[in-house]
Chains A and B, each alone.
Chain A
Amino acid sequence: MPQPLNYLKETASQTAGPYVHIGLIPAMAGFDIFEKNFCNVLVTPNTQGERITLEGRVIDGSGTPLRDVLLEIWQANAAGRYNHPADRSTGALDEEFRGWGRAGSDFESGLVTFETIKPGAIIDKTGRKGAPHINVWIVARGINIGLNTRLYFSDEAAANAADPVLNLIEQPVRRSTLIAKRSERAGKIVYSFTIHLQGPEETVFFDV
């Protein structure tokens, strides 16, 4: 027998279950407990950048929207900089933007919304430029391990065409599953997305 390496093993994931709201968004479970709560609004009045609403649904293999799903998003600020010490790019930090939020889907419609800003393009550690995107993590009853995907922006066609991650997707038709569509509604910019867990339009999920 060779010497043991003695790494620890990652703790196994388990489903977030149907009552994930209690722990992560107690107001949605129907009660008020913490003084300070995390939510789906990432911006303050002083955050830099273009205000956008992200709006979408997660669809199961029967075509039905999940009504008990929880999404978290993680994104760079308007200058393309993540609010974290491991981002050593030169874009300016924005003290008014953590870059993270969470939202539960509506119990009736399954709609998930975030109020945030459009992130800037990313400079990766290799010096490559990445198209603006938002990182998404999905948990719910029936999802045994959180699903990672990304949302890109429909009005960034040139940047998307050059993005190293989008170009890793072998079938060009599947790249479109990650593009949120821009529209304007009552003077607000809305990006709409649909995440398909299964089926011919299955969203690209990443093993990050």
Chain B
Amino acid sequence: MHAQAPALRDPRLNRPEPFTPPLGDGDFFQRDRSMHPPAHAPGYKSSVLRSPRQALLSLENSVSEITGPVFGHNDLGPFDNDLIRNYAKDGDPVGERIIVHGRVLNETGRGVPNTLVEFWQANAGGRYRHKKDTYLAPIDPNFGGCGRALTDDTGYYYFRTVKPGPYPWRNYVNSWRPAHIHFSVFGSGFAQRLITQMYFEGDPLIPVCPILTTIPDKDALERLVAPLDLNASTPFDSLAYRFDIVLRGQRSTYFENRTAGN
């Protein structure tokens, strides 16, 4: 045997079933880029000058990628996940009251606990509270449009808001964004970092959106569309939509022999 050959590794550690190894210590599964939009997607015109043209350099995960920032409840305020209340000045914001809830999972199906989820959106008229947004729909004085939550031990998160409106934007002269909520998710390591957008079941703008249709895989696209979840609604108060988010899977190094310096 070659002196430098690495020890044979139990393959169950790479495919953590039927084990349930602890989260947060191994390499991430290689990212499946076919699930994502390409950097250069000419139908979304802003991507043309902002897309790298060289091949990405593939990097085996080092400690720099499998680690990432850790957040706690001390980082958040008590109303951060209630967009109906967290900016209200003299009443509730205008719009359809909704609950958005789901789990942050990894590709092995395990919940990702205690991870920070941030979300932002336009108001019910399709206007963002942002100094660079000049759309003619009015600002809602009682709506900020952002919030955040930490997932619980099972990866579950939830928040309350009003359903955002669609809005026009400069891509083609008559391009409209479907109603959507932006999501930012951390995971346990910096290589899991993800920003995405959640859309709403039944929105007729979905198939004609130049941003959404940058995703080449039809199933991957449809996984961004949250179904109405009547069972989670609050009768006489709020409808609910369900949105699960899947981050890259993670291997375990739990039983691996460690080399010096580790």
Instruction: Verify that A and B bind, or say they do not.
Output: yes
Chain A residues with CB under 8 Å of chain B are: 6-24, 26, 29-31, 33-36, 38, 60-62, 64, 66, 68, 72, 74, 76, 82-89, 98-100, 107, 122-128, 130, 133, 135, 137, 139-148, 150, 165, 168-169, 197-198, 202-208
Q: Contacts of A11 on B, CB cut-off 8 Å?
A: 35, 194, 196, 223-224, 245-247
* Residue-wise interface mask of B (171-203) relative to A, using a CB-CB cutoff of 8 A (1 in contact, 0 not): 000000000001010001111011111000000
Q: Contacts of B37 on A, CB cut-off 8 Å?
A: 12-14, 144-145
Evaluate contact between B193 and A146: CB separation under 8 angstroms.
yes
User: B59 is contacted by which of A14, A85, A206 (Cβ under 8 Å)?
Assistant: A206
Evaluate contact between B249 and A143: CB separation under 8 angstroms.
no
Q: Contacts of A33 on B, CB cut-off 8 Å?
A: 86-87, 144, 146
Q: Considering only CB atoms and an 8 Å cut-off, how many residues of chain B contact the other chain?
A: 95
Q: How far is the CA of A140 from the CA of B188 in the complex (A)?
A: 22
Evaluate contact between A207 and B58: CB separation under 8 angstroms.
yes
B contact face: mostly helix, strand, loop, or mixed: loop
Q: How far is the CA of A147 from the CA of B195 in the complex (A)?
A: 11
Which residue on chain A has the smallest CB distance to residue B110? A8
User: A23 is contacted by which of B50, B61, B75, B118 (Cβ under 8 Å)?
Assistant: B118
Q: Contacts of B212 on A, CB cut-off 8 Å?
A: 14
- Given A11-B246, A12-B220, A144-B39, answer yes or no on A82-B195 (Cβ-Cβ < 8 Å): no
Check: B94 CB closer than 8 A to any chain A CB: no
Check: B230 CB closer than 8 A to any chain A CB: no
A contact face: mostly helix, strand, loop, or mixed: loop
Offer 17 A-B interface pairs, CB within 8 angstroms, sorted by A. Answer: A8-B246, A10-B31, A10-B35, A12-B220, A14-B37, A14-B196, A22-B146, A60-B49, A74-B190, A84-B70, A86-B63, A100-B69, A124-B62, A148-B191, A198-B52, A204-B54, A207-B59
- Given A74-B69, A145-B36, A206-B58, answer yes or no on A60-B50 (Cβ-Cβ < 8 Å): yes
6 nearest CB pairs, A to B: A23-B120, A142-B46, A127-B261, A100-B69, A84-B67, A142-B50
Besides A30-B130, A122-B64, 14 other A-B contacts (C-beta < 8 A): A9-B219, A9-B220, A11-B247, A19-B128, A30-B129, A64-B49, A123-B261, A125-B262, A126-B259, A142-B46, A165-B59, A202-B52, A205-B54, A208-B61
Which residue on chain A has the smallest CB distance to residue B249? A7
Check: B119 CB closer than 8 A to any chain A CB: yes
Tell me how far the C-beta of B32 lies from the nearest C-beta in chain A, rounded to whole angstroms.
Answer: 6
Chain B residues with CB under 8 Å of chain A are: 24-26, 28-29, 31-33, 35-39, 41, 44, 46-54, 56-59, 61-70, 74-77, 80, 86-87, 105-109, 118-120, 128-133, 144-146, 148, 182, 184, 188-191, 193-197, 211-212, 214-215, 217, 219-221, 223-224, 245-249, 253, 258-262
Q: How far is the CA of A207 from the CA of B32 in the complex (A)?
A: 10
Evaluate contact between B188 and A86: CB separation under 8 angstroms.
yes
Tell me how far the C-beta of A17 lies from the nearest C-beta in chain B, rounded to whole angstroms.
Answer: 6
Q: Contacts of A36 on B, CB cut-off 8 Å?
A: 74-77
Q: Contacts of B246 on A, CB cut-off 8 Å?
A: 8-11
Q: How far is the CA of A143 from the CA of B68 in the complex (A)?
A: 22
Tell me how far the C-beta of B44 lies from the nearest C-beta in chain A, rounded to whole angstroms.
Answer: 7
Q: How far is the CA of A6 from the CA of B107 in the complex (A)?
A: 9
Tell me how far the C-beta of B251 lies from the nearest C-beta in chain A, rounded to whole angstroms.
Answer: 11
- Given A22-B145, A31-B144, A82-B64, answer yes or no on A62-B49 (Cβ-Cβ < 8 Å): yes
Which residue on chain B has the smallest CB distance to residue A60? B49
Tell me how far the C-beta of B218 lies from the nearest C-beta in chain A, rounded to whole angstroms.
Answer: 11
Q: How far is the CA of A73 from the CA of B76 in the complex (A)?
A: 20
Tell me how far the C-beta of A180 lies from the nearest C-beta in chain B, rounded to whole angstroms.
Answer: 16
Q: Contacts of B53 on A, CB cut-off 8 Å?
A: 198, 202
- Given A143-B39, A198-B52, A205-B57, answer yes or no on A82-B67 (Cβ-Cβ < 8 Å): yes
